[in-house]
Amino acid sequence: MAMTQTDLVVGIPTIRRAKHNYLLKTLESLLVTLENDESGSLLIVVLVGDLDRTKAQITIEEVQGRFGAFLDTGVLEIIQAPPESYFPDLHDLKDRFGDSKERTYWRSKQCLDFALLMEYSRTRGTYYLQLEDDVITTEGWFKYIMYYVTTRRREFFMIHFSRLGFIGKLFPSTVLKGLVQLFTLYFDEAPVDILLPAYGKRQKEETLKTTNTIFQHIGLDSSLEGKTQPLQDHGFTAAKKALQNAQLEVERRQMSGKGGTDSLAARMEEMKERRENRKRLPVPGVPAGG
């Protein structure tokens, strides 16, 4: 199946929760805030990670029912985790952190889900942003992210657009192959929030953190049954305001001689040309329902 390459791929892994489902609100927040000219530069991929096929199908049908138009235009895709027989035995893993068997299973499966999602997405766009399935954002989020990445003067390994969990972590797609290998090889050794920073420290490129975080965590019930996580990012900023702050920062750099307008203009023009001359690439895997 031929699929287009775009500027930004947003990956969202999801598992159906026992009490609340936040995924639809997350997708609505991302999609309804897009401007007309942005949808052609964006792909959102949802990985439904439930191994219970009934639960998975409920989620798929909910997304298809609410966001069918976005699925039809290719802005949104749904993929489904393979059957349990595909995975190694996750039920009798050695625990290294004093976790229960349930938590050890949950965090190990999470590593493998992340690897599946990144492998599917890594040839689909220039940058890859991973979100959790229980976050919201505000109008202008896409413009802010693309402005931020195109005004960086040096190569980077990762940018944090939120301070919480695996929310709003952006990578150049060129590093995803290494992350897929990391999560696949060490899924039973440590959780992702330990593996990723340790791996990042060994990279020569920088890990950056934005001053303004543009994604807010809204989920109370975790995808790990029985766990609650009432986390809020107190640095959450409206994306339009964050963009204004970023533009002011770039202007200050330019005025002080630390940043060149020629370089920025060239990068923006390169992104525009890539959108207009987008190549169709064969990617393994067929989106669920598509």
**Quick one: DSSP state of residue 173?**
G
Please list the residues that pair with 130 across neighbouring strands.
Answer: 11, 169
Determine the pLDDT at residue 93: 86
Q: Which residues of the chain have pLDDT under 50?
A: 1-2, 222-224, 226-227, 259-264, 278-287, 289-290
Distance CA 41, CA 258 (A): 29
Which residue in this structure is represented by tokens 């750099």? 253
Place of tokens 């920062």: 249
Cβ pair 166, 113 in contact under 8 A:
no
Q: Which domains does the chain have, with CATH numbers?
A: 2-282 (3.90.550.10)
Residue 86, Cβ neighbours under 10 Å: how many? 10
Residue 230: the pLDDT is 52
Query: Residues 164, 217: contact at Cβ < 8 Å?
Result: yes
Q: What pLDDT was estimated at residue 164?
A: 66
Per the document, the length of the chain is 290
CA angle 34, 30, 162 (to 5 degrees): 120
Question: How far is the C-alpha of 85 from the C-alpha of 89, rounded, in Å?
Answer: 9
Beta-carbon contacts of 35 under 8 Å, excluding residues fewer than 6 positions away, are 142, 143
At a CB cut-off of 8 Å and minimum separation 6, what does 165 contact?
A: 132, 193, 217, 231
What pLDDT was estimated at residue 219? 61
- Please tell me the predicted confidence (pLDDT) of residue 129: 98
